[in-house]
Amino acid sequence: MTSHPGESSGFDPVVIGVLALQGDVREHLYALESAGAEAIPVRRERELNAVDALVIPGGESTTMDKLVRAFDLLEPIRRRVKEGMPAYGSCAGMIMLADRVVDAVEGQRTIGGIDMAVRRNAFGRQVDSFEADLAIHGLPEEDRPLRAVFIRAPWVESIGHGVEVIATVAREEAVPGGGSRIVAVRQGPLLATAFHPELTGDLRVHRYFVDLVRAGYDDMHGGESGEDSLWASEGAPRRGSPPGWPELHEEG
Ligand code: GLN
């Protein structure tokens, strides 16, 4: 965590960076500010060092991978993620946070952090883009579905045991024989969605992330040491899938 001016004197906004090399950066900056965070673009390591958390926007994961390496940010971001920095990736950002990618281009790398395999462009050409109303577990006003916009989106093909599934989508045309696909997950302080909540004006996913960052921040700064932090323990606060959810293929 970064030091905050006047952090002992009451409430300070958390500072959340948006990786600003490619993709829909502005929309995330706006959504984060609207959700109560201070949001700054991140293109340099010193900017990364100034944030409590990072959002990785939608765009194109292969391009983002090249740029993140060209800007010498891959290792610094990996390091921060390993140290427990909260991060949220949407669409291409979800791919960037995945430990494994199916249908990656040759040599494509990711930041990693979430123990999952994602399939790029998974929903197929005939449904390149679509919208769906999703129930998202743990979201503010959870009973109200979230309109999710998918654009050449990945899906999550498999997850490790520490990963919590928070949303699935049913797409008959993309999933032979019907059934659902995982499109939002959380592992500890890492959150990823295959869709783009920054495009709809519904701020609940950003509020969820800001709350998650704030919870870790308060915990670290309120507790005696980082040891007791929400994020210090391995993996996610584990929860199984809610009753009635599809059987998930888990690795390992
Ligand atoms: N298909 C893109 C990729 O592989 C993701 C698309 C998006 O972010 N909207 O990175």
Q: What is the pLDDT of residues 55-93, one digit of tens each?
A: 999 999 999 999 999 999 999 999 999 999 999 999 999
Q: Name the closest-CA residue to atom 9, ligand 1.
A: 151
Lowest mean pLDDT segment, chosen from 44-48, 182-186, 214-218: 214-218
Residue 91 Cα: closest atom of ligand 1: 8
CA distances from 9 to 12, 35, 112, 221, 224 (A): 8, 22, 35, 12, 17
- Alpha-carbon distance 159 to 147, whole Å? 24
- Which residues, including other chains, have CB under 8 Å from residue 108's CB and lie 6 or more apart? 61, 62, 65, 101
β-bridge partners, 197: none
How many Å lie between the centroid of ligand 1 and the Cα of residue 12? 34
Give which of 96, 90, 52 is closest to 73, Cα–Cα.
96
Residue 95 Cα: closest atom of ligand 1: 10
Query: Rounded mean pLDDT of 18-22?
Result: 97
Its pTM stands at: 0.84
Residue 151 Cα: closest atom of ligand 1: 9
Q: What angle do CA 25, 160, 155 make, to 5 degrees?
A: 45
24-60: per-residue pLDDT in tens? 999 999 999 999 999 999 999 999 999 999 999 999 9
The CATH number corresponding to 15-228 among 3.10.150.10, 3.40.50.880, 1.10.3720.10, 3.30.450.20 equals: 3.40.50.880
Measured from CB, residues less than 6 Å from any atom of ligand 1 are 58-61, 91-92, 95, 120-121, 151-152
- For residue 75, what pLDDT is reported? 98
**What is the token pair recorded at 245?**
């959810």
- For residue 42, what pLDDT is reported? 98
Confidence of residue 127 (pLDDT cuts 50, 70, 90): low
Residue 241 above 50 pLDDT? no
130-151: per-residue pLDDT in tens? 999 999 999 999 999 999 999 9
Q: Which of 61, 67, 183, 193 to mutate to test the pocket of ligand 1 (most atoms within 8 A of CB)?
A: 61
Residues with a known catalytic role: 91, 196, 198
